Amino acid sequence: MKITTLLLLPLLFLACTGDPNKQMISSPENANTIMFELVDGVPTYSVMHGTTQVLNSSKMGFEFKNQPAMRSGFEIVNVEKTSFDETWEQVWGEKRYIRNNYNQLSVTLQEQEGEQRKIEIQFRAYDDGIALRYVYPDQQEDSLVIMNELTTFNLADDGTAWWIGAYQDNRYEYLTTVSKVSELDTVVTPLTIKSDNGLSLSFHEANLVDFASMTLARTGNTELEADLVPWADGDRVKTDGSFTTPWRTLQIADEPGDLITSYLILNLNEPNKLEDTSWIQPHKYLGIWWGMHIGKYSFWESPIQGATTSNAKMYIDYADQLGIDHLLIEGWNKGWTPAWYENAMHMFSFTEEADGFDLKEVTDYAKEHGVQIIGYHETGSNLINYLKQIDDGMGLYQEMGMHDVKIGQVGSRLNMKEWHHGQFGVNYYRYVLEKAAEYQLTVNFHEPIKDTGERRTYPNMMAREGARGMEYNAWSDGNPPSHTATIPFTRMLSGPMDYTPGIFDIEIEQGYEGRDVHTTLAKQLAMYVVIYSPIQMLADLPEYYVDHPAFQFLQDVPVDWEDTKVLNAEIGEYITTVRKDKYSDDWYLGSLTNEDPRTYSVSLNFLEDGAVYEAQIYADAEGIAYNDRPEEVVISTKDVTSDDSLELNLAPGGGVAIRFAKK
């Protein structure tokens, strides 16, 4: 289905306010309004949500290398207003049909003196937020280096911010800090804010192509400024003389849950470029993986090597028995050593098998059992080495009939030099994604750049890490219960995450002393609904799934959805999400909490009117907590209709998962 109405309505300058230096655009339902104003030649903009001021007058512009800055001395030479309304279908996703409906204001400025350069600023007003970007046309220069973007976001109110500091060696893999906006450091996006005026806000960017990522630096009390991640030589963005920036986005919601069901980031990306998507399959997967992280297996050749042909066959047998049709195998190739993760331009081979592993034998065996093998490329951030081998490495997977690859970039700098998030990294990740599409491979990036919605354009971009995932529980103090109650409102706003849930052995018997996953078992189930990904790992050692009654939920829960709703939510505290299966009439509910227990009643009015569903409920046993008998889960069933409400009781660090099976 594709319904499109496109209205192009060029208007005269004077049309809206009478003052040619003031231009205004509101969203289709008037939820948000952007006001552009040229004040003594200086471009500024401000944003309102209804009658609430969100951004006060905020500046715009650029500084360049060996060229005068562009920040003042402008006149308006053209103004255009357009409207757009389209409903498009996702190849896979958390919602099948997405409406892209906005009003756009485009203002072209020209310097009155000097080189008389032009720049166009495009503003889009959506009912769920606003976006702006710059288009700098080809004029005079053959190359132009951006040294600074001067866009500010001058928040009208202080508020509570959930943030991760920018420029850290482990990229986005930190716990979230909570502070007032007025105490922020330089932070990565998405940056989520609960404003003192009650609004939920998220700053991010969309369609990050051939540009540096934007971080946000606090430059005034509650004023933030774009801060572009530099190259090692200090340049921010190298261009051929013209450029289009990514969209700078601000999602604006009355309730925190509405940030999650906003599709503004996807709407600001280009439509799907892949004609044939039949080989792209959302899936659940087992892995020869958790065993390495808990120290049961090694990544490298050793007496406890994880990736051996016999282990792989054993895992394929488990996959077959458990009804899971994908298996990730890490450490199958040459190059792994006990020091593989050190920053040392480590040399991996992407075609040579580790001793004791036979890729052809394993993929043939997998095929016989209806299982697809997921390949693994750990680059160690030595991209010089990887890019020399990328065609051979991906070609090998294609030859083996494989369709999925996970790609790691462990290391604090790419090639021991560049930030993952600078323009160099942005271009690298895009190149790899396009290359993977050529070989009909879907991609799961670990140590990725942040998601800015590229899955719309390249639906082989399945999921990525980009936050502390489950593995942190295996070998560090781990993720506290509040972490998974926070990331749905922060990291997850950018796109799907390969969090790798599903640990049933909560206290990690076979792992390092004193490590556990800081949730109840029911919360592990709830994560499959709350933390969206089209690929979901069943991360535990498979023996913990065999004959476990709660495994039924992992078998049932889909990875591709018709629709998503958030029933209740408070950032960092709790969330209840429901999603409708794309291929049946069933709905699924996941609810999870931080360290605090919760009891709430949720209305089932999302179910189809008049229909009866069997609610298959997986709940925390009474009196347990994430650190006290966390594995006790109570499974019950009950017939319900859309007129009913259900009371949910969540233990400290707990959760509840429900399948509503239509009768």
3-state secondary structure at position 265 = helix
Cα–Cα distance for residue pair 526/498, rounded to 1 Å: 15
Cβ-contact 433, 427 below 8 angstroms: no
Q: Considering only residues 227, 451, 465, 540, which one is a binding residue for ligand NOJ as defined by CB under 6 A? A: 465
Cβ-contact 201, 252 below 8 angstroms: yes
Phi/psi zone of residue 460: left (φ > 0), alpha (ψ -120 to 50 degrees), beta?
Answer: alpha
Q: Does 404 bind ligand NOJ (CB under 6 A)?
A: no
Nearer to ligand NOJ, 175 or 410 (CB): 410
Nearer to ligand NOJ, 415 or 616 (CB): 415
Nearer to ligand NOJ, 167 or 341 (CB): 341
Q: Considering only residues 248, 326, 420, 446, which one is a binding residue for ligand NOJ as defined by CB under 6 A? A: 446
Least distance CB 515 / ligand NOJ (angstroms)? 16
Least distance CB 172 / ligand NOJ (angstroms)? 12
> Which tokens is 618 given?
């997986």
Least distance CB 343 / ligand NOJ (angstroms)? 13
Nearer to ligand NOJ, 231 or 376 (CB): 376
β strands within 14-96, DSSP E: 22-26, 32-39, 42-49, 52-59, 62-64, 67-70, 74-89
Nearer to ligand NOJ, 104 or 382 (CB): 382
Phi then psi dihedrals of residue 24, to 5 deg? -135, 145
Packing angle, helices 383-399 and 423-438, rounded to 10: 20
Q: Pattern 361-400, binding to ligand NOJ, x per CB under 6 A? A: -----------------x----------------------
Cβ-contact 525, 618 below 8 angstroms: yes
Least distance CB 447 / ligand NOJ (angstroms)? 7
Nearer to ligand NOJ, 225 or 465 (CB): 465
Q: What is the DSSP letter of 133?
A: E
Q: Does 330 bind ligand NOJ (CB under 6 A)?
A: yes
- Amino acid identity of residue 9, one-letter, is L
Q: Considering only residues 393, 408, 572, 653, which one is a binding residue for ligand NOJ as defined by CB under 6 A? A: 408
Nearer to ligand NOJ, 201 or 328 (CB): 328
Buried b (16+ CB within 10 A) or exposed e, 306-345: bbbbebbeebbebbbebebbbbbbbbbbbbbbeebbeeee
Q: Which of 353, 471, 543, 608 is catalytic?
A: 471
Cα–Cα distance for residue pair 456/218, rounded to 1 Å: 31
Q: Which of residues 485-504 bind ligand NOJ (CB under 6 A)?
A: none
Active site residue 595: no
Nearer to ligand NOJ, 293 or 403 (CB): 293
Nearer to ligand NOJ, 190 or 408 (CB): 408
Pairing verdict, β 214-218 and 223-228: antiparallel
Cβ-contact 152, 225 below 8 angstroms: yes
- Give CB contacts under 8 A, 24+ apart, made by 99-104: 99/263, 100/263, 100/267, 101/28, 101/126, 101/127, 102/27, 102/28, 102/126, 102/267, 103/25, 103/26, 103/27, 103/28, 104/25, 104/80
Q: Which of residues 277-316 bind ligand NOJ (CB under 6 A)?
A: 289
Cα–Cα distance for residue pair 316/310, rounded to 1 Å: 10
Cα–Cα distance for residue pair 549/188, rounded to 1 Å: 41
> Which tokens is 81 given?
């207003």
Least distance CB 7 / ligand NOJ (angstroms)? 46
DSSP assignment of 419-488 equals -TTSHHHHHHHHHHHHHHHHTT-EEEEES-PPP-STTTT-TTEEEE--S--THHHHHSS---HHHHHHGG
Least distance CB 469 / ligand NOJ (angstroms)? 6
Least distance CB 428 / ligand NOJ (angstroms)? 17
Cα–Cα distance for residue pair 197/578, rounded to 1 Å: 28
Site for ligand NOJ, rule CB under 6 A: 289, 330, 378, 408, 410, 446, 465, 471
Catalytic machinery residues: 471
